[in-house]
Amino acid sequence: MVTWAEICADPVLQNLPYKIETNRFGKIMMSPASFWHGGFEIEIGHLLKQLMQGGRAVAECAIKTTDGIRVADVAWISRERYEPHRKAISLPIAPEICVEIISSSNTKEEMLSKMQLYFSAGAKETWLCDEDGNMEFYHSASVAPIPQSVLCPLFPVKVVLD
């Protein structure tokens, strides 16, 4: 089975316009990203950096899950979780907040399933952003969406791209 480090080092897979992930069998999965998707990644990361203290915002965060490597579009990780793994190729524990931006290439059900993998890997919250910037917040202690983030209560319920 190919490792995540080998995938990341493979020159054939460098600079692809796709997000690469693996499943539990080591099979590579790819999803195309669009221009607007990147705009939401930057804006959500910028807002997290402004609103959260004691950690850092990360884009394209590779996380080891029970079903292979999954890559959160945006994440916020505390210094305590970040420091021991700051040079890691993929994180063995999920950041506290993992954000997915839903694209036309995936369904909400797929994203919710992926978000459950983040919870199993230690995330405290997972967020879902739709194509219009509407945010849904999920907490590890709740099955249903919550009205706002517990960890970042000032985060807006709608992200607006200028």
pLDDT tens, per residue, the chain with 162 residues: 666 566 656 676 556 555 655 666 666 655 656 677 789 999 999 999 999 999 999 999 999 999 988 999 999 999 999 999 989 989 999 999 999 998 877 788 888 898 999 999 999 999 999 999 999 999 998 889 999 999 999 999 999 998
Residue 146 lies inside a defined structural domain of this protein:
no
Residue 103: give its domain's CATH number: 3.90.1570.10
Residue 15 lies inside a defined structural domain of this protein:
no
Q: Which residues contact 17 (CB under 8 A, 6 or more apart)?
A: 32, 33
Structural domain that includes position 90: 33-139
Stated pTM of the model = 0.84
Residue 94 lies inside a defined structural domain of this protein:
yes
Residue 43 lies inside a defined structural domain of this protein:
yes
Residue 10 lies inside a defined structural domain of this protein:
no
